[in-house]
Each structure stands twice: as C-alpha cells, then as structure tokens.
Amino acid sequence: MAAVTPNINQDRAKRVAVRRIEGFTKQFGETYRNLARHAAFPLVLTPDLLYQIWANFVPEAPWVAVAHVLLSRLCRQVGYETYEMDITDRNLLLRELKEELGHERLDELGEFLLDYVGQRLTEDDPDTQDLAQAQEWTALAYTKPYEAARELALALSRRLKYKDMGEVLRLTSLIETFAEPLKEAGFEPLLIYNSGMKIFARGDFEGAIAELHKIPEQREDVEVAGVILEPLLVNIQIEKLAAIDEELSKREINLDPGGYFIIYLDREARLICAKHYTKVIDGRGLAVDIGSGQVVHTSTVFSGKTAKELCVKILEETQPCPVTLLDHAAYLGREFVRAELALLTGTEYIQD
C-alpha cells in the first residue's frame, strides 16, 4: 500500500498540472504557452530573467506576457521579485519544449542561463551565491547531466561529512527538482541515494534503509559519475545503534556500594587507567565523604594496556573485588573497550 500511495499522488499532481497549463493556454493563447515552456527551464525566475528569456527566445509574444506568466497560477512568489514553478508543471512544460523544439533548445537555454548567472548573480552574499549555484546545476542537469551528477554527488558527500542535517534537507529537496533529466541520463542510483539521505536526515532510520535497498546491485559504496558516495547504509546502522545506546543511558541505575571509577588514558605510557574511589563522587569528579561532604584523597589506580587486562586486574585479581554489582561490571567492560579503541586510534575518550 505504501508503494502505491506515491504513484496516486503523482498522478493527481500531473492531472492538476495539466489543468493549470490548459487553463493558462485557454486564457492567453499558444504564444504565451511557448513563453511558459521556456520559463520552466530556470529553477527560479525573476522579472529580469524572464524578460531576457522573452527577448532572446520568444520575441513573438507580447512583452506583457512576462508579467502574465509570473502572475499566473503557473508561478508562485517565493521572495522579493522571485518566483518558481511547481515541479510537475515544470516537467510537463519542459517535456513539451523538448518535443516542439528538440534538445538543441535546451542546450541553448543552458548556455544562456550559465551566461546570465555569470554576469548578473555575482554578489558575495550567501543567498545570491546559493541561487547562482542552483541555477548552474539546473542548466547542467538538462544539458550536461554527467557534470551535474558529479557536482551534486560531491555536494552530498560534503553535507553528510559535516552532519549538517538542515543543509542535507535543503540540498536533497533541490536535487529532487532535477529528477527527470538525471533519471533519463541513467543516474537513478543518485536519486535513490538522495531520497534515502533525505529520509535519514529526518530521523527515519528504517525508512532510509528501505529506500537505499532499492539501489540496483546494492553495495556499501555508491559510485556516481566517478564520485564514491559515503556508505550511508552503514552510517544509518551506526546511528540507529547509537540511538539505542543513548536511550538506554537515560535509565535509572543503582550506585555500587563498593565504589566508583574515574577512567582516563595515559597516552605517554599507552595505558588505560581506572582510579577507584570507595566514597561518593561529586559533580567535580572528586571523592567525598557521605556524611561531611569533605573531599577524600585516598584512591587506588588500576591500569592496563588492553581492556581485557584491566578487567582481569580489577574483577579477578583484586580481593575483595571492588565491584559488587553485575551492571557496574558490565559498564566497566564497555568503557574499557571504548578507552582501548580511543588509545589505538588517537581519538578523544570521554567517560560515559
């Protein structure tokens, strides 16, 4: 049922788009519709950009057609003098444009848009740069899909590396607007990976895994236009396991009457150290007397080169054993393994 719902929604969106386009044509005529086909090429429209498209590609339409297209139901305003078309409307109009005038017209529009971006969108502010990048990717997606797929794959890798989920969602939504030309060019694995990443960024691990399994010849790595994308399937599994541990860390636990350990690394000696206190540990990590709250300076330090060696020293060789609860022993084992891994890899260790 879940697989059927998206198809139903797509069919409904297509029917609505067809009615919108036909209604626009009935009101203004075929010449206006031709301008709308050309207006569908840029991802974002401004009055100046559409005026330039009219002057260069559809001069037979009256100049007021520019305003009529922007203010029609085909476009919606998304900012100051900034408009965009619904993705379904865009795809239908661009398909018509390709059928009427051939791929050569798409190439001409691509070159025009790249030149326009290079001349007009040159400001240094982030919003202008983001718009320029989006328009460049639009031009490439329809004219040089291999280059577009490569740049988009690199951008996806960077966003995932820095774990900026806000940027991930923004980029994945943008890539969805290029789905039709990228799919036609054979880059469906990129689109599936993109969809999986979008679901992952929203915190739906199971949904992301199910989506990524749709990639043909599923492997840990996905190669797109010479770019090896990160093994997102593995990352999702890691995040999923981390979420389990994080939730378990919130549970109530009983304090061990036998005492507490402060675990740290002696990197010069390459040792895992566990300092044992027989009193209560305060918020500063110091042992204090239960009654008076005074700092107690007596402690015992255990050390080992491996987690196993340290566990044997504390749990087997020391009598009486300073650990009296099974969950405390299990906790120490987990932490010593984490500390050993940090010692081997040179990464930071912080006791949980």
Secondary structure in 3-state letters for the chain: CCCHHHHHHHHHHHHHHHHHHHHHHHHHCHHHHHHHHHHCCCCCECHHHHHHHHHHHCCCCCCCHHHHHHCCCCEEEEECCEEEECHHHHHHHHHHHHHHHCHHHHHHHHHHHHHHHHHHCCCCCHHHHHHHHHHHHHHHHHHCHHHHHHHHHHHHHHHHHCCCHHHHHHHHHHHHCCHHHHHHCCCHHHHHHHHHHHHHHCCCHHHHHHHHCCCCCCCCCEEECCEEECCHHHHHHHHHHHHHHHHHCCCCCCCCCCCEEEEEEECCCCEEEEEEECCEECCCCCEECCCCCCECCCCEEEEECCHHHHHHHHHHHCCCCCCCCHHHHHHHHHHHHHHHHHHHHCCCCCCC
The type of residue at 229 is L
Tokens matching residue 139: 């031009």
pLDDT band per the 50, 70, 90 thresholds, residue 1: very low
On average, the pLDDT of the chain sits at: 84
**pLDDT higher than 80, residue 243:** no
Radius of gyration of the chain (CA): 30
Cα–Cα distance, 249 to 235 (Å, whole number): 21
277, β-bridge pairs:
260
Q: In whole angstroms, what is the distance from residue 128 CA to residue 44 CA?
A: 12
Report the DSSP pairing between strands 287-288 and 280-281: antiparallel
Residue 2 has pLDDT above 60, yes or no: no
Whether 200 and 164 have beta carbons less than 8 Å apart is answered as no
Q: Look at residue 165 in the predicted model and tell me its pLDDT.
A: 74
Phi, psi of 261 (to 5 degrees): -120, 135
Answer whether residue 313 shows pLDDT above 90.
yes
**Do residues 291 and 285 lie in contact, with contact meaning Cβ atoms separated by under 8 Å?**
no
Overall average pLDDT of the 134-147 stretch: 89
Confidence of residue 310 (pLDDT cuts 50, 70, 90): very high
CA distances 138 to 62, 102, 151, 222, Å, are 27, 18, 12, 23
Which tens digit of pLDDT belongs to each residue from 203-236? 777 777 777 778 776 555 677 777 777 666 556 6
Q: Which residues on neighbouring strands pair with residue 245, listed in sequence order? A: none
pLDDT of residue 219: 57
Least confident of 146-155, 227-236, 285-294: 285-294
pLDDT for res 72 = 94
The whole-number pLDDT of residue 121 equals 78
- State the Cα–Cα distance between residues 235 and 174, nearest whole angstrom: 23
Between 6 and 62, the more confident residue is 62
Is the four-CA dihedral 180, 185, 188, 191 of positive or negative sign? Answer: negative
pLDDT for residue 6 is more than 60 = no
